[in-house]
Amino acid sequence: MGTSQSALAAEALRPLSVTDAQLEVAAKILAAGEAQEQPVPVTDAQIEIAAMILAAGKVVAFTGAGVSAESGVPTYRDPGGLWRKFDMKKVSHINNFLKDPVACWRFELELWRLLRNVKPNPGHYALAELEEAGIVNGIVTQNVEGLHTEAGSKNVIELHGNETRALCLRCGKTCSALEAFRRMGWVSEEGEILEDQLTDISTILRNEGDGSSSSSSPSPSPSVAAAALQRRARAASPAGSQASSSSSSSSSSSPDP
């Protein structure tokens, strides 16, 4: 580390207590990024400074779509992203959910299709290790797939909620998204998507020209479709009508990073 950089780091850390053990853990985890196939170019001096600042504690990590891209989770606005295909205004706001819950759940099924097999990547595990070592106090994330928690992070604040869970607006009970889709009759007990049971998707797709949803093919009436889903849920659950409200009235909020 150069003289000026050392002086800068020392000045920043003057009022803080940093142990050699903390510094070693932080440096090891930061340097692990260099083992990736396409690492972000950093110098040893930069790694050392970052490690010293992290080791001082009282650090919160803020993450967005980029940290999960390596896991195969598509970002929202980049080429191939979800908002390039789906009409965000129709599927990510609570007012639209209340108007047409079936359409919003149809989007959630497509999102679940993308997320069901993804796993945490080294970035998620590194943050979990930093938290366990007492270097990072917690994580604030815009992401909705729960990979930070799956990787072992304990103190995670999900700004946009979690798309792997469903919430009933009537009673406040929660269940997994998978269970909600099973109650709708869209996913089998084995976890397979029943493609022939899915409602039409064209109403929530974007048009290339103006970004509005396509209406190239007819869609079932929302009220008729919602009633059909409620009947399926009542038949599938011993809890009867309460269980149906848990599926058809579950709320989710998609992020807009």
Q: Is residue 114 within 8 Å of 80, Cβ to Cβ? A: no
Q: Is residue 85 within 8 Å of 77, Cβ to Cβ? A: no
Q: Give me the residue label for tokens 């972000």.
A: 40
Residue 51 carries which side chain, given as an amino acid letter?
Answer: A
- Residue 150 to residues 28, 39, 118, 125, 141, Cα–Cα distance (Å): 22, 24, 11, 9, 14
The closest of 229, 249, 251, 126 to 182, measured between CA atoms, is 229
Residue 125 carries which side chain, given as an amino acid letter?
Answer: Y
Q: Is residue 159 within 8 Å of 51, Cβ to Cβ? A: no
Beta strands 136-141; 156-158: pairing state: parallel
CB neighbourhood size of 130 (10 A):
23
160 is catalytic: yes
Can you give the C-alpha Rg of the chain in angstroms? Answer: 23
Q: Is residue 111 within 8 Å of 183, Cβ to Cβ? A: no
Catalytic residues: 160
